[in-house]
């Protein structure tokens, strides 16, 4: 029996029982809609957090070191590290947090003293205006870049034109060169960036150097982290292990080193979201199970109603495989139709969930993400349901005796 004939027969059989077919696939529609809506919201949350937390900067490496004598890394230490580890890193730079009084705000903003390459390592770019450059760093210029939280706090609104205006940090006025979007990575506080040399000379009271590296493209980030940690332990004779740090008897001697990559955070985050996806699919699986039972029930009813038709087909030369293929194809088409409607309904439901839940939990910019993986998963589920729950009715139809079938009333 040709595929075209099978499709024609399937279309005729389904259209002859539209109402029954619709009620039968309703369970599939609801189940697939549940899968798509939940996974699209989960994927949307993941995309939002990746964007806000900067987890997409997979080549970023954070380096924390305390020497055995209790001191931290100095500028010359970082410069040496940058030279010695040049095969693993494109850049290694440092920055420091300062908390001076900033005139005009209701709170003390976080002031980050950094070198221009910091912006490249952190993947930051100007939203308006420009960032300071190596010339500003060399001259210790009193220039600043503000995030949107700082613009709102010190100038009254997000869309205030602050380029060229001044902001007073401590005892000095700084000319604003540009602005950047706020990031939850900085805790939602107002953040101001100024040249490191300027901060060191004029602000003071730093919290020590924080060191970040930007690995070379294509690097194995876990290998980079391991080699960096081994290097630091060797150079500064650091003997403390993680178990030592967690011990109650740890007295701070022996030094401390911690190197972690954004790639490791991405992997941990992806694993967590995968668990939520599995839970969503498991919950939706109940509806899909009910839908599959409905498919089997309808197919068994179809077999009973079409016994004489099956007998006639067999009498005219149809093979058992043709009968199996016919009824399986009907189950597949029903499930795929349910899957298509379920995906459409699920995506709409995902939008409704994000529009309602986003403001309730204080999350802005949350949108559902319908990934190719979710669509393929939905199609695979539909095909699996069709094959599992359609196989028994199809085999039952194929085993009917043609003589007895023709005599069936």
Domain interval for residue 146: 60-262
Burial 209-244 (b: 16+ CB within 10 A, else e): bbbbbbbeeebebeebbebbbebbbeebebebeeee
- Are residues 48 and 78 located together in one domain of the fold? no
Per-residue confidence (pLDDT) for residue 166, from 0 to 100: 94
Nearest to 111 by CA among 95, 121, 97, 122: 97
- Are residues 90 and 222 located together in one domain of the fold? yes
Count of domains forming the chain: 2
- Are residues 199 and 279 located together in one domain of the fold? no
pLDDT one-digit tens code per residue, 103-149: 876 666 889 999 999 998 888 889 999 999 999 999 999 999 999 88
Domain boundary among 262, 291, 309: 262
Question: Full-prediction pTM beyond 0.85?
Answer: no
pLDDT one-digit tens code per residue, 119-131: 988 888 899 999 9
- Are residues 191 and 256 located together in one domain of the fold? yes
- Are residues 340 and 194 located together in one domain of the fold? no
**Taking the C-alpha atoms of 378, 379, 382 and 383 in order, what is their torsion angle to the nearest 10 degrees?**
-150
Domain boundary among 262, 278, 313: 262
Angle at 78 between CA 77 and CA 82, to 5 degrees: 120
- Reading the block at residue 78, the tokens are 């970082």
Cα separation of 370 and 277, whole Å? 13
Which run of H or E residues covers position 92?
Answer: strand 89-98
- Are residues 20 and 80 located together in one domain of the fold? no
pLDDT one-digit tens code per residue, 193-227: 999 999 999 987 666 899 999 999 888 989 999 99
Domain boundary among 204, 239, 262: 262
- Are residues 65 and 49 located together in one domain of the fold? no
Pairwise pLDDT comparison (87 vs 26), residue with the higher score: 87
Cα separations in angstroms, 306 against 259, 329, 379: 70, 16, 29
């Amino acid at each position: 029996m040709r595929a075209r004939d099978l499709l024609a027969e399937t279309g005729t059989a389904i259209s002859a029982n539209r109402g029954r077919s619709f009620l039968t696939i309703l369970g599939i529609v609801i189940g697939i809609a549940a899968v798509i809506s939940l996974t699209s919201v989960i994927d949307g949350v993941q995309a939002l957090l990746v964007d806000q937390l900067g987890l997409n900067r997979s080549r970023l490496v954070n380096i924390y070191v305390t020497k055995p004598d209790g001191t931290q890394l100095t500028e010359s230490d970082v410069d040496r590290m940058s030279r010695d580890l040049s095969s693993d890193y494109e850049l290694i730079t440092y920055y420091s947090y300062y908390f001076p009084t900033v005139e005009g705000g209701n709170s003390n903003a976080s002031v980050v003293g950094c070198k221009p390459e910091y912006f490249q390592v952190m993947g930051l770019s100007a939203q308006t205006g420009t960032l300071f450059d190596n010339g500003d760093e060399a001259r210790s210029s009193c220039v600043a870049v503000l995030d949107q939280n700082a613009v709102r706090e010190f100038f009254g609104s997000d869309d205030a034109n602050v380029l060229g205006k001044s902001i007073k940090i401590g005892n000095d006025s700084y000319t604003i060169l540009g602005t950047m979007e706020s990031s939850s990575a900085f805790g939602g506080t107002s953040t101001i960036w100024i040249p490191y040399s300027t901060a060191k000379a004029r602000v003071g009271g730093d919290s020590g150097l924080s060191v970040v590296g930007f690995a070379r493209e294509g690097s194995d980030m876990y290998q980079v982290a391991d080699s960096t940690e081994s290097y630091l332990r060797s150079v500064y004779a650091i003997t403390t292990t993680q178990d030592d740090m967690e011990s109650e008897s740890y007295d701070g001697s022996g030094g401390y080193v911690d190197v972690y990559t954004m790639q490791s955070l991405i992997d941990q985050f992806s694993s967590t979201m995968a668990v939520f996806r599995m839970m969503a699919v498991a919950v939706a699986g109940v509806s899909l199970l009910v839908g599959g039972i409905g498919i089997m029930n309808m197919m068994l009813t179809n077999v009973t109603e079409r016994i004489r038709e099956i007998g006639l087909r067999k009498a005219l030369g149809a093979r058992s495989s043709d009968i199996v293929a016919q009824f399986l194809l009907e189950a597949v088409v029903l499930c795929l139709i349910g899957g298509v409607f379920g995906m459409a309904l699920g995506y709409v439901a995902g939008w409704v969930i994000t529009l309602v839940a986003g403001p309730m939990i204080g999350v802005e910019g949350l949108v559902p993400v319908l990934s190719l993986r979710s669509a393929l998963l939905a199609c695979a589920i539909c095909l699996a349901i069709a094959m599992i729950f359609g196989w028994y009715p199809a085999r039952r139809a194929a085993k009917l005796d043609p003589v007895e079938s023709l005599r069936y009333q």
